[in-house]
Amino acid sequence: MLLTKEKAEEIINDYKSNITDAYRSKLLFITDLITNDDWTFVIKAHALIESVMNELVEVYLEKPEIKEVIGKLPLHGGSGSKISIAKKLHSISSEESRFVSNFSELRNILVHRFEYIDFTFDSYVQNLNKEQLEKLNTALRINANQPDIYIIERTCNNLQIKLSYWNAIFNLLVNLIDRIHLKIASDRNEKEAVTTTMGLISNVFKDSQKNFTS
C-alpha cells in the first residue's frame, strides 16, 4: 500500500499528541525533520541519536568526570564505540544497536562524499539488492509489534521510506530517553534509601547509647 502525504501527516500528528514533557524537545526536533530534504534528515537525525547515546552511556557509567571522553568516542564500530559500551552496560538492546549501526553506515556514506548531497531514500533503496533490502528492514524493526506499513519495498515512494526511517528513529529515542530517566530516578531513589537507612541506624545507635548511659 502506497503512503499518501495526508496519511503521513496523520501518523506524525498522532505521534506529536502523545509526546510527554520528558521527551518534548528532542522528539519534536526529530518530528520536524520529516519536512527536511533526505540528506539533511539523515545528518541531523544521526547527530540527535549520538547526543542521546552520549547521555545514555554517561548515566549508566555513573562517571560524570569522563563526559568529554565519551563524547569523543565513535558511535559504532569496534570495542571502544558508544554502542559497544552501551551493550556491555545492558543499556541498549541488540535490535536498537543494529539499527544505530545501520543508520550510522548510511550517514557516513553521505557525509564523506559531496555527490551525495542530493541523496533521496527512494533512489537509495532502488540500488539495494534483495539481501541488503532484507537487512535494512530487519534493522528498522526496533519493536516487535511494528506495523507492516513500515516495511520497505521497491515499490514504496520516497515519503513512505523516509517515514519508515523516521518511525525507527522515533521509537529508538523514546526507548533510550525512557531508560535514561528511569536510571536517573532509580539512582536518586537508591541514594535517598541509603540516606534514610543510615539516618535510621544513626537514631537507633543514639537511642541505644541513651539507654546504656541512663
Contact 56, 179 (CB under 8 A): yes
Q: Domain coordinates of the chain in residue numbers?
A: 5-186
What is the predicted pLDDT for the residue at 204? 44
> In this prediction, what percent of the chain has a pLDDT beyond 70?
75
Q: Report how many helices (DSSP H) and strands (DSSP E) the chain contains, helices first.
A: 9, 0
Rounded CA-CA distance 133/149 in Å is 15
Rounded CA-CA distance 152/162 in Å is 10
Contact 82, 57 (CB under 8 A): yes
- Vertex 107 angle, CA 102 and 112, to 5°: 135
Of the given ranges (16-20, 50-54, 182-186, 187-191), which has the lowest mean pLDDT? Answer: 16-20
Say whether pTM exceeds 0.85.
Answer: no
Residue type, 69: V
What is the predicted pLDDT for the residue at 195? 55
